[in-house]
Structure 1
Amino acid sequence: MIRVLLAEDQALVRGALSALLSLEDDLDVVGQAADGEAALAAARELKPDVVVTDIEMPRLSGLDLAERLRAEFPEIRVIIVTTFARGGYLRRALEVGARGYLLKDAPASELADAIRRVYAGGRAIDPNLAGEAWADASPLTERERQVLAEAEGGASTAAIAARLKLSEGTVRNYLSEAIGKLGAENRTEAARMARERGWL
């Protein structure tokens, strides 16, 4: 049996996924979590083979969850199931160690097959997104992305500098570079544009 943990903040979707996967003879849904932190705790306790997670969740996003799981439990495979059909999100998912990326409108049989493929050591990527992911590469460096993500929440330059252990001047430079690369008017617009493309 392949042991599966589901992480999804919408109870209805989580329940539907669990019911559908439980119909498969070789899949066992051993746990469910409504947010990323709860999913991480459940993974530590239940040691699933595969974690199926949404991207946007409270307390810890699916991408952050995938990164933490890769660091703590490299043997646990992660599949992202999301509504975000954006190449930028797929790229980031692969960068943090996810082995699968499917859209929520995919048939249930596709998800079951993806779990089997990923469990066996393969990948399961929505074919329509695969090409787009590489065509839509982010122009932002990792530091620019971090600074912009902090700015998105409305943090001041001083607060960003303190959180990322940088000087305020360095933070201003990163913000200026990111704004310029995205052709935005200001940091707020730059963060919004980057978020829409799946780069944050």
Structure 2
Amino acid sequence: MNARTITVILADDHALVRDMLRERLGDEGDFVVIAATASAEEALKAAEAEPPTVALFDIDMPGLSAFDAARTLKAKWPKTRVMFLSAFIQDGYIRRALEVEASGYLAKSEPTETIVAAIRAVAGGAARFSAAVGERFVVEASGARLIEAPHTRTELLTPRELDVLSYLALGKAKREVANLLGISPKTVDHHASHIMDKLDIHDRVALARFAIREGLVKP
């Protein structure tokens, strides 16, 4: 096994998902799947034999909680990076992932290639989260992990950026926004770029959902 090999333990009680990921990672030249288990307990046993670079847990499994398993794993092997893969993108689950210093939280609806790329990035020290997670929480400046916003993510935006976001969320074109605010289309582009960077939301539909949830516009 060379120095660049990324070792992975998968834990998911859905055999279809587990086997699909194991096969897909096996097709990559830089991954070795140490174990693909149906429970968090089995994942910990596998880690005892060989601590992985990355441990990927499904959240909704019978038996030992994935979060408790992740906490145990991080306590014993601090260098192991922990990720969660789930059909549930809920604030409560995300906060529990925060508590165990997760470096990734991905929706199962993500394309397989996105999940594989995320595992590789996390192994390299980055953090990777689905857009729906990023809408609720923020990634710290180093990109190493997820942190909870102090109050609301709208506090990251200036008053002018909030104005621009409100109009964009209503579906207005950038030129129309420029006319409404008395600024140039280029300035609107500048504000829009800053908004997306600050919120880490790079899709107009996701921006609209965020604006509605934060009460900036009415649905």
Residue among 39, 45, 69 paired with 1:65:
69
Residue among 94, 97, 109 paired with 1:93:
97
- Correspondence 1:43 to 2:47: yes
2:116 is aligned to 112
Q: Which has the higher helix share?
A: 1
In structure 1, list runs of 5 or more residues that go unmatched: 138-200
Asked whether the 8 Å contact 1:80–1:101 carries over to 2, the reply is yes
Higher relative contact order structure (alpha carbons within 8 Å, sequence separation ≥ 6): 1
Asked whether the 8 Å contact 2:40–2:61 carries over to 1, the reply is yes
Q: Secondary structure at the match of 1:24?
A: coil
1:41-94 CA-to-partner distances (Å, cap 9, x unmatched) read 111112211111101112212111111111111111111000011122112102
Map 1:123-134; keep pairs closer than 5 Å.
123-133=127-137, 134=148
State the distance in 2 between where 1:106 and 1:38 align.
Answer: 25
Give me the CA root mean square deviation: 1.8
Q: Greater Rg, structure 1 or structure 2?
A: 2
Asked whether the 8 Å contact 2:39–2:63 carries over to 1, the reply is yes
- Percent identity, aligned pairs only, is 41
How far off is 1:128 after superposition? Answer: 2.2
2:169 is aligned to none
Q: TM-score, normalised by structure 2?
A: 0.59
In structure 2, list runs of 5 or more residues that go unmatched: 138-147, 152-219
How far off is 1:3 after superposition? Answer: 0.6
Q: Secondary structure at the match of 1:132?
A: coil
1:188 is aligned to none
Asked whether the 8 Å contact 2:34–2:46 carries over to 1, the reply is no
2:58 is aligned to 54
Residue among 103, 106, 125 paired with 1:102:
106
How far off is 1:37 after superposition? Answer: 0.8
Q: Which amino acid aligns with 2:83?
A: I
State the distance in 1 between where 2:43 and 2:122 align.
Answer: 19
Q: TM-score, normalised by structure 1?
A: 0.64
